[in-house]
Structure 1
């Protein structure tokens, strides 16, 4: 039997898998706290600069003294990151997202080569270690370096964690477990807001938020290697051992004892993973006319989604009202987005393209409306609405992008889109600071990003109920192009073929 058949025997989502998915989902809560840390520890209270009184006559210039309006303990008040030094707050946040970009690029291929479990555990261990480096940083320079290293580990284990959640369960549960990790990340943002209210000194907050990673690491040590990865590597015996362990955990010990996976040959693995093949895949994204157009549009859509999503989230601490409540609300408001997008993308009158573009345009419109409403409560409400809408668009973009690329080149396409996404994340921390130019500038940037990406998204073809292309030849065939340009297809079970509705 193959792996999918084996999962049906041992249980696709039994007690063993539920415990494993629960542990990995808890890790998303920890990762969310690390992602949101700068929102609270980098808070800048109102301040004024005063000149000190009499100083020795031989001193050439008077030393300025910064007086803060609030008794707040943050990196801004400790290292006086104001005026000409204010850019360092956004820089530390951008370094974190730069680390995410590099982590995605490095950890993905590494986990394909040496395994999901060792890469995940190693990355989580070092993220906790660098997290403590953040909490006890003696200077801004060490703090900024630690944020880069934490981001590197966070981006890497985030990718591997998502893959493990999928590969521990049967295929029929992939959509559910994938959505669950995103929901737990949103819950983590909300919990971080509550934690920030209870633990306000920034070093204590960083230490407390990071200490949860120690618990999650200890729980993760018991997780097995991915049986799907072992099977694809030709290690059928080890895959059988993991599946038997799952069977015992699911109460199917007798069924697990009869497991026998087919032997597979991986002689071509080195060739398929070679730099030449990977380079050829990336080249096709530029050379192939259909792929080039799709990739350019999708990269901008992912960039805009990330810019608006993280820009609104990281700006929560600067919004009117309690910054702790704002952070919590910006996390909780995401939760309704996931059932919303699942509902719309499966309706023939909406589909993937229209749903994603509509959510992006509505998110941009919500940000636009904030510029014409003087009421601060209404502005915050519209910003929260924008966060909900862009969260839905972001979730759809993951599903839609995978369907637009042929199987032969899907990983390369997703990789480029993910890189564009991280560029948006790198720029996002600087957008809230644009309030210094004009109070409406951040929302203007988010408005333009959402509206432009929504309009560009309409240039893409619909994929709802359409069979995904497997090869580049299928993608370029006139029949496949006409199929995507026309109405959605429905599967005719009697005649065993797709037909237009």
Structure 2
């Protein structure tokens, strides 16, 4: 049964709706934007908070699958196996001291070419008194099999991912980042085509089985395939939860909501280290990092479909049903169903052709003069920030520090970095703050390289301090880069640019384990040289980007032509300067990472609901 179409004559201002009782219901004809609709149904009630908690909970799981690579693929001291000496009851230490070209080294892939049958007959004491009694000791040979130090159970020790198979260790880490890239692309499409809630449901449903399949892998190839899948679905969970959170609140709430949303990411970051410290077997660790996601199935009962997405797709009745439920839970009164349905159709008429992704759109980002230099600069900054971020986050092996402590403190630094962003960009502006964070990160990483080259580690305390400083700054740079990218490009190209930039970022993160593992195994300070060089190059390039602080967001490409000369209130939305300034805080918040892969940057409803 539908409600009466009669509605009160007196209409309170939209901003006062949260203070009114359930009897307050403005005429649907005075609802001009979707923000007015959400103010009407209420966005501060217990129901909204419950949905936000349910959506943000997915952020706990994604970092666990990404950052666990350091523990699942933990390296262990190893040396050549000598079956003849083992059969003669030599200890591992005796075998190592006799057969290794350099017994002081913990990671050996070759051995002396002794006649180990003769050595076994003579005994350890005799051959160590005079090694010349055993022929063949003047040459080395590659190990046919390896022995690993007891007490470390990882994919490296189980499948011997060292020496000539070391590259597979890099592949295993890169698989997680490849999954993030695929997840960003695939679920960007799914979330837009089939809905936020259904996309989230698919991701959660597939996440747990794929995570358990990783633990059941029988070889490195199976492991890599399912690592790609579990991180792909993990990214789908994160994107779905983030988008729903943003689309269920108003612009001025988005800064607070997005700030809260990234907290579970940092908690999951730190929890990964704590769980890995407790569970040392890699298979049981993978299970322990996956099983908690089963609780996310309960979230599906709490999370509604996004009313904004439904309205944009022309599914007004379904959207109205959810809005009515929200109003009921928040004890708010709405106009009649007929009036509300008509208002939704008027506010957001259905668009038959809303195709944003095309070859023509892609070419426009490169052929327009005003974008020809901005686009490659922004893409390079995304590539470098992701490579450096994950290179530092997963570089404990090169530093020679405790990986559990390193990951845990890294998670705590995430929270600290969130806190400096807003005052930083407010006082210094986007461009200066971005260039400054890159530059300080480069100096810190350069200090790490210098200490490694000179051999002055300061008991690892100096290395840790500089590495943490670089991690802190590059984390802040990552967040600000989201913001400035969303503000540099017009609405008609913004989602396309963000999608392309995300791919550049994934390429950078995929490269980071190869730099850390393969290059770092040859020259210890080389990864720091790579990361520092890219950071300083990005700092220089970022300094030439135009400042966007306080400027209205452009809607079309032609308005971007004069962006460098714009002042607040003179852009394509200059007549809405006050509204834009109020929404600026939401723009900053919507750019927050939480996973470093969020493609939703604009705080305005028109762009947020139609991003992908």
- TM-score scaled by structure 2? 0.74
Determine whether 1:264 maps to 2:342.
Answer: no
- Name segments (4+ residues, structure 1) moved above 6 Å: 54-57, 256-259, 265-268, 491-498
Q: 2:564 aligned to 476, 481, 484, which one?
A: 481
- State the shift of 1:179 in Å: 2.7
SS in 2 for 1:333: helix
Which residue matches 2:540? Answer: 455
Q: Establish whether residue 357 from structure 1 lines up as the match of residue 461 from structure 2.
A: no
Say if 1:243 and 1:256, in contact at 8 Å, map to a contact too.
no
Note closer, same or farther for the CA distance 1:91–1:497 as it changes in structure 2 (3 Å cut).
closer
Call closer, same or farther: CA 1:185–1:317 in 2, change over 3 Å.
farther
Alpha-carbon deviation of 1:257?
7.2
Total equivalences in the alignment: 485
Determine if the alignment matches structure 1 residue 298 to structure 2 residue 383.
Answer: no
Q: Which of 493, 499, 520 is equivalent to 1:435?
A: 520
Report what 1:207 is aligned to: 287
Q: CA deviation at 1:245?
A: 1.8
Q: CA separation of 1:232/1:492 partners in 2, compared to 1, >3 Å: closer, same or farther?
A: closer
Partner of residue 16, structure 1? 47
Distance in 1 separating the partners of 2:439 and 2:577: 40
Q: CA–CA distance in 2 between the matches of 1:62 and 1:171?
A: 63
Secondary structure, in 3 states, of the residue corresponding to 1:466?
A: coil
- 1:405-461, CA deviations, whole angstroms, 9 ceiling, x for partnerless residues? 111111111111111111111111222212212111111111111111111111110
Q: Distance in 1 between matches of 2:209 and 2:258?
A: 27
Cα distance in 1 between the residues matched to 2:535 and 2:304 = 41
Provide the rounded CA distance (Å) in 1 between the counterparts of 2:578 and 2:400: 60
Contact 2:274–2:408 (CA under 8 A) maintained in structure 1:
yes
Counterpart contact for 2:54–2:302, Cα < 8 Å: no
**Is contact 1:244-1:256 (8 Å) kept?**
no
**TM-score, with structure 1 as normaliser:** 0.90
Tell me which moved more, 383-392 or 220-229. Answer: 220-229
**8 Å Cα contact 1:13-1:170 kept in structure 2:** no
| 1:383 CA displacement | 0.7
8 Å CA contact 1:46–1:70 kept in 2: the answer is: no
Q: Distance in 1 between matches of 2:246 and 2:556?
A: 24
Deviations, residues 214-254 of structure 1 (Å, cap 9, x unaligned): 1112223431000110111122221121122222333x143
Counterpart CA distance in 2 for 1:114 and 1:35 is 27
1:30–1:209 Cα contact (<8 Å) kept: yes
Give matches, 1:240-279, under 5 Å. Answer: 240-250=320-330, 252-255=331-334, 260-261=340-341, 262-264=343-345, 269-273=351-355, 278-279=358-359
1:388 counterpart residue number: 472
Give 1 or 2 for the bigger CA radius of gyration.
Answer: 2
| Conservation of the 8 A alpha-carbon contact between 1:3 and 1:231 | no
Q: Find the counterpart in structure 1 of residue 102 from structure 2.
A: none
Q: Measure, in 1, the Cα distance between the counterparts of 2:53 and 2:579.
A: 39
CA–CA distance in 2 between the matches of 1:341 and 1:4?
26
Q: Residue 209 of structure 1: SS of its match in structure 2?
A: helix
Describe the shift of the 1:234–1:465 C-alpha distance in structure 2 as closer, same or farther (beyond 3 A): same
Select 1:218's aligned residue among 294, 298, 322.
Answer: 298
Q: Which residue of 2 aligns with 1:195?
A: 275
Partner of 1:313: 393
Checking the alignment, whether the CA contact within 8 Å between 1:317 and 1:324 is kept in structure 2 is no
| Residues 1:379 and 2:463 aligned together | yes
Partner of 2:154: 74
Q: What runs of 5+ residues in structure 1 fail to find an aligned partner?
A: none
Assess, with a 3 A threshold, how the Cα gap between structure 1 residues 187 and 65 changes in structure 2: closer, same or farther. same
Please tell me the root mean square deviation across aligned C-alpha atoms, in Å: 2.8
Task: Give the structure 2 partner of residue 411 of structure 1.
Answer: 495
